[in-house]
Amino acid sequence: MNEEQIQVYTLNKLQMYDECPQKYKLCYIDKVHVIENIQKLKASKSGTNLHNIINSYLKGMDVQKLVAALNPNEKLLWHNFKNSELKNMHCLESEYTFNLKLDNYWLTGRIDALFENSGSYIILDWKTGEKFNPEQVKFQTTFYLLCMYEILKAKNYIENTTQLSLYYMDLAANSCVKIHFDDDLYIKYKNQILEIINKINNSKNLFCNKTDKCKLCKYYRVCPYY
């Protein structure tokens, strides 16, 4: 078995290479460690706390004491979750980790939850931060829909692409962005993922893409292109 057949590709790896090959190199090849912004770390911790409570709740656990310990902003997010349209759907999985063999490659990831509603299956992803923009998670959309479709089809849960969709629950705005799957998107997403994997395996020069977002990159100060 060669290296291509045993290497595992995560959402973060593929997305980072797609954004900037040099960023991928600094993170996964050179293994440069950069300390995150304190405010980002605090926001991440708050989001993690809420995710953990939602996960426990969906698994049937008593979360009253955990909810009582939330700060006012977190309690509002919890309220929005509890009163969303999900209450009429059946939760099949929560914090579901998956592994998928796609051609000769392994993909791995984790979704927040999987719901079933009248024969259709819905991938749920909670967004707890401010100013959620669906355009910023386009690659996540690609990865989740492709992987979960292949998995659900292999388990004989679904027969066609239109039975699957992805909901981004923006708990801060109390809104939901719904993305529906179809055959054309399946072909597009599969080709996109395989193309990026091929580039990772065959690219020798990992250049910086140099965009107007470079200064926001956590590797900006160590990037050799600046």
- In this predicted structure, what is the pLDDT of residue 1? 40
Work out the burial of residue 223: count CB atoms within 10 Å of its CB; fewer than 13 is exposed, 13-18 middle, 19 or more buried: middle
Model's pTM, two decimal places? Answer: 0.89
Question: Residue 206: is its pLDDT beyond 80?
Answer: yes
Mean pLDDT of the chain: 90
Domains belonging to the chain, first-starting first, are 3-222 (3.90.320)
What Rg, from alpha-carbon coordinates, does the chain have? Answer: 19
Question: Residue 45: is its pLDDT beyond 70?
Answer: no
- In this predicted structure, what is the pLDDT of residue 6? 64
What the block records as the tokens of 56 is: 């426990």
- Which residues neighbour 160 within 8 Å (Cβ) at sequence distance 6 or greater? 183
- Phi first, then psi, for residue 208 (nearest 5°) are -85, 135
- The Cβ of residue 24 has, within 10 Å, a number of other Cβ atoms equal to 23
Question: Residue 35: is its pLDDT beyond 80?
Answer: no
Pick from 41-45, 48-52, 172-176: least confident? 41-45
Question: Residue 144: is its pLDDT beyond 80?
Answer: yes
Concatenated DSSP letters of 103-160: TTEEEEEEEEEEEEETTEEEEEEEE-SSS--GGGGHHHHHHHHHHHHHHHHHTTS-SS
Concatenated DSSP letters of 144-193: HHHHHHHHHHHTTS-SSGGGEEEEEEETTTTEEEEEE--HHHHHHHHHHH
